[in-house]
Amino acid sequence: MRVRSSFFASFCLVLEVLSVALFLRGFFPVPVKSSFSSKSKLSDLPDEPFTGSSPNLSKVPDPIFKRVVIVLIDALREDFVFGPNGRKYMPYTRHLVERGSTHSFVAKARPPTVTMPRIKALTTGSIPGFIDVVMNLNSPALLEDNLIWQAKMAGKRMVFYGDDTWVKLFPKHFMEYDGTTSFFVSDYTEVDNNVTRHLDNTLKRDDWDILILHYLGLDHIGHISGPHSSLIQPKLMEMDDILKKIHGSLILKETEGALPYLLVLCGDHGMSETGSHGGSSAHEVNTPLVLISPAFKRKVGMEKPPTIEQVDLTPTLALGLGLPISQNSVGRLIQPVVEEASLRDQLRFLHLNGHQLSCLLKDSMPAYEKEEGYEQFRVAEKSHGNWLKLVVEGNTSEVLNNMGKKVLKQYLEALRVMSAALSKQMGKYDMYSMVVGVVLVFQLLLLLLLAMPEALSGASEVDLPVSSALLSLPFYLLCLLLFSVHMLVCTSAESACYFCSLPWGLVFGAVALSSALLCILVSMAARKGAKPPGKSPSRASGGGWSLSELDILLLAGTAGHTLSLSASSFVEEEHQVWYFLLNTLCLVVFQDVCRKYFRERSANIGVIGCSEDKDCLPPSKEGYAVASPLTDLGVTGADSERWLALATPLLTLACCRLLRSLNQTGVQWVHLPDLGHWLNSSEHKTVLSLLAAMSLALIYFLVQRRCSWVSKIALALGLLGVYSYRAAVGNVVLPWQHSGGNMSKGTMKARFVYVFILGIFFTGSKDLLRSQVITADARLKSRGLWEIYSGVVLLVALLFRAHNLPVLCCCLLVQSLMAQFIWKKLHYDAAQTTIMHYWFGQAFFYFQGNSNSIATVDISVGFVGLESYVEAPAVFLTALSTYAGPLLWASHLICYLSSENRRGLRRKMATPKVPAHTRSKTR
């Protein structure tokens, strides 16, 4: 069955998307949620576990605090307050931590450490999933039970100023609010001034109960210049002054006999060493939590803050304000907050928290009664009832006090175990759905690899043995076997799998598809073994189809990388896999170069009338001589060609090794200093400036060769604009500019570059349209593609940070050398060249400093040339910068294949074939 390559590619793409979706459905489990659709109510709270006959006298707990102020500083790292620089950054806060009436903690935020999921965690007490990262861009209203809704239902008057994500999550909940956009990271002054401008007037009023302030400036500074920027200290001192103002106002309003206030200082997440967030490194998940209230004892010295979960703040605030705990909360009461209350009140708070966790445990686990935490809670509840019976009877002995403290410890342990069990539910993957998705993806990958030579050939068709596979006995046996496995897994699994919940028709279709793909793969592999070799010189010249060392490496490396992604360690450190594969590829290519130019040199002498004192022209695939002048780089002569070809894989290895040192990535070693940190330090700005200038000059030399003179001029001016933009934002210095010059946003200079980028795109698109509509000129089409490619290069150069310009430079250098001396001269076919481009693209993704953690996504590039947040260009520029490596290599592949096709057609038209009798004499 012969199908067009376009149809075949579309079919594989659709199946790949469905398979990946099935895998993701298993990899991202459904969050732990209560089965009750309604929200918690005060009337639903349980009675005290009293075992006697007297009525319960404390069904609804009294609130501890009258007024709460929450100061949330976005990206506030734990060491900014508790670290050695805490006294310098936030002196007043540090004084309160050491000598004030405070409780200090290190609150651990669960990944993903992104603002919207963290706000959900702080208000619901649940652990959001990674799907919330996508929703972070357009936050919908939060419908599940949460602290803000409970406060509104209780009549609490709330005021909010800051990140407008709160306004989107909680519409119509606040009595008064003013939201500021959180995405325009270039602004770190007005975004906080818009919050503070309301503060004086609000603190003078008494018509509110809860005040929430969410400051974004610190987070924006981190995205722009990192946690060690000179802007960090002034911003933290500004936050410290604000906290001092709020604390002083609350002290003045404190009245005798009234309930005390509570001032909360916290962060939603931390900040990595690169200034970003989203991952699970210590600096990203560890945030400070400082609770300030006259209800606490005054400190006598600095103590090491204990570690708690960030979601523990939710039940603590709920109980402190006399509100029900959110149904989906997995947090537990921060016991030191209520330690000044009576023992009976403390036990009551813990009992309410335990009851809520036990109800959530019932809803989320079928065998909840066997859970250790649930059993411990029941034991503590029974002991609590016995203790309470003695209290009601008037027993005041010391034994009773010790018994109460023992019950308190039982409650705390039960809460810890139940909270851990519920949190662990987030890490339970649907392994069966994941395995099915991986198997389908792997089968499609092998099918693509086997069909790629045919798909990329001139006929653009793929011969799939569909009928023979579907009519074979192994197909039916495989269907029966896989369906039996499905029945076995779905009937014996302890927890329901998503794939098991699908209709039987879909399941049978998936089973039949997997069986058919396996039979087709076997048939295609057998057919390849029976076919004669193709025209590629990398194939063996025997009677059967054999694989060269390069083919084996490309197939085994691609398949091995796919299999490695089944292990989390390989996902976290995926860059190591690509670095290893790329180095091995260079060594295999080096072997091919040595074989062609040195080992087989004597065999080529005399093939077409050559001698040792003359330059030999290698025979083409058609059997006649083809001249190969190195016109692109101005190199002539077979000897120069041999040595440059020999040096290309070695130079590629050297570039890859240099780029590995430029940006540390991954998880385990990302904290180690690298060359990028050294270049970005203020004392090495001159070195960075010289390196950036040299890189931009080499980029121009490598890209302009295939462009028209108009595009060459636009490219040169655009690259000058790139350097001027980097100088304006303070990354590099101009010769006449001092390193301590004033920083600006560089908006006009960036827009200056955008004009030339659009001009180059227009010129290239015009040439492409002319080649397709007006005249069928392959040369014009190739030039149009290369000009569009040069426009992409200029755009990437503008978005890349200054220390990453060598990455772009090395990318273009390797592309030029490999195209000129390896892919063209060694006559690698389209399939081999395509896979090599894929490998290089993946490796350069990590050379940029990216990783599989969203913490390495540099969102500041989304605002290059923008003065406000505009969603479409911001998302586009961020995605383009992040995936610049794969994009550049994919674009180069299209341009290279187009140029090779044009060159092949030109050779066929210009060079007549050698007559048969002449070829026989030559032999």
Instruction: Name the residue among 247, 177, 184, 188 with its Cα closest to residue 215.
Output: 188
CA 451/CA 420 separation, integer angstroms: 49
Q: Are 118 and 310 in contact (CB under 8 A)?
A: yes
Q: Is residue 301 classed as helix, strand or coil in its secondary structure? A: coil
Q: Distances in Å between the alpha carbon of 761 and those of 213, 754, 793?
A: 45, 10, 11
Q: Is the peptide bond before 503 cis (omega within 30 degrees of 0)?
A: no
Residue 769: count other Cβ atoms within 10 Å of its Cβ.
13
* pLDDT at residue 898 is higher than 90: no
State the burial class of residue 531 (Cβ atoms within 10 Å of its Cβ: 0-12, 13-18, 19+): exposed
Instruction: Name the residue among 757, 829, 838 with its Cα closest to residue 795.
Output: 757
Between CA 172 and CA 174, with CA 173 as vertex, the angle to 5 degrees is 100
Q: Is residue 178 classed as helix, strand or coil in its secondary structure? A: strand
* pLDDT at residue 881 is higher than 80: yes
CA 570/CA 396 separation, integer angstroms: 61
pLDDT at 923: 41
Write the single-letter amino acid at 127. I
Q: Are 347 and 411 in contact (CB under 8 A)?
A: yes
Length of the chain equals 923
Confidence class for position 629, pLDDT limits 50, 70, 90: very low
* pLDDT at residue 177 is higher than 60: yes
Q: Are 686 and 733 in contact (CB under 8 A)?
A: yes
CA 29/CA 860 separation, integer angstroms: 31
Any bridge partners for residue 307, and if so which?
106
pLDDT at 677: 86
* pLDDT at residue 919 is higher than 70: no
Q: What digits encode the pLDDT tens for the residues 508-520?
A: 899 999 999 999 8
Write the single-letter amino acid at 375. E
Q: Is residue 785 classed as helix, strand or coil in its secondary structure? A: helix
Q: What is the mean pLDDT of residues 498-523?
A: 88
Q: What digits encode the pLDDT tens for the residues 197-221?
A: 999 999 999 899 999 999 999 998 8
**What b/e readout covers 540-570, taking b as 16+ CB neighbours within 10 angstroms?**
eeeeebeebebbebbeebbeebeeeeeeeee
pLDDT at 902: 63
Q: What digits encode the pLDDT tens for the residues 723-744?
A: 999 998 888 888 776 544 455 6
Q: What digits encode the pLDDT tens for the residues 533-560?
A: 444 444 444 334 467 888 889 888 988 8
pLDDT at 689: 93
CA 490/CA 495 separation, integer angstroms: 9
Q: What is the mean pLDDT of residues 184-190?
A: 76
CA 645/CA 601 separation, integer angstroms: 14
Q: What is the mean pLDDT of residues 335-351?
A: 91
Write the single-letter amino acid at 636. T
Handedness of CA 485, 490, 495, 501 (dihedral sign): positive
Q: What is the mean pLDDT of residues 221-235?
A: 87
Q: What digits encode the pLDDT tens for the residues 824-867?
A: 888 888 888 989 999 999 999 999 999 888 778 888 888 888 87
CA 873/CA 868 separation, integer angstroms: 11
Q: What is the mean pLDDT of residues 49-57?
A: 60
Torsion from C-alpha of 373, 377, 383, 388, nearest 10 degrees: 150
* pLDDT at residue 530 is higher than 70: no
Handedness of CA 452, 454, 459, 464 (dihedral sign): negative
Write the single-letter amino acid at 468. S
Torsion from C-alpha of 550, 556, 562, 566, nearest 10 degrees: -150
Residue predicted with more confidence, 861 or 237: 237
Instruction: Name the residue among 443, 323, 489, 639 with its Cα closest to residue 18.
Output: 443
Torsion from C-alpha of 335, 336, 339, 345, nearest 10 degrees: -30
Q: What percent of the chain has pLDDT over 90?
A: 40
* pLDDT at residue 624 is higher than 50: no
Q: Tokens representing 111?
A: 């990944």
Averaged pLDDT score across all residues of the chain: 83
Q: Are 163 and 182 in contact (CB under 8 A)?
A: yes
- Considering 61-65, 114-118, 239-243, 485-489, the range whose residues carry the highest mean pLDDT is 239-243
CA 169/CA 178 separation, integer angstroms: 14
End-to-end CA distance of the chain: 40
pLDDT at 544: 44
Residue 477: count other Cβ atoms within 10 Å of its Cβ.
11
Q: In this predicted structure, which of 319-333, 378-392, 893-907 has the lowest mean pLDDT? A: 893-907
pLDDT at 64: 92
Q: Are 830 and 898 in contact (CB under 8 A)?
A: no
pLDDT at 151: 93
Here the contacts of 586-590 (C-beta below 8 Å, separation 24 or greater) are 586/649, 586/650, 586/652, 586/653, 586/656, 587/649, 587/653, 588/549, 588/550, 588/553, 589/550, 589/648, 589/649, 589/822, 589/826, 590/646, 590/649, 590/650
Residue with tokens 């193709």: 534
Confidence class for position 42, pLDDT limits 50, 70, 90: confident
Confidence class for position 604, pLDDT limits 50, 70, 90: low
CA 81/CA 92 separation, integer angstroms: 10
Q: Are 866 and 747 in contact (CB under 8 A)?
A: yes
Give the gyration radius of the chain's Cα atoms: 34
Residue with tokens 């960036």: 750
CA 922/CA 623 separation, integer angstroms: 11
User: DSSP secondary structure string, 867-893?
Assistant: SS--HHHHHHHHHHHHTHHHHHHHHHH
Write the single-letter amino acid at 681. S
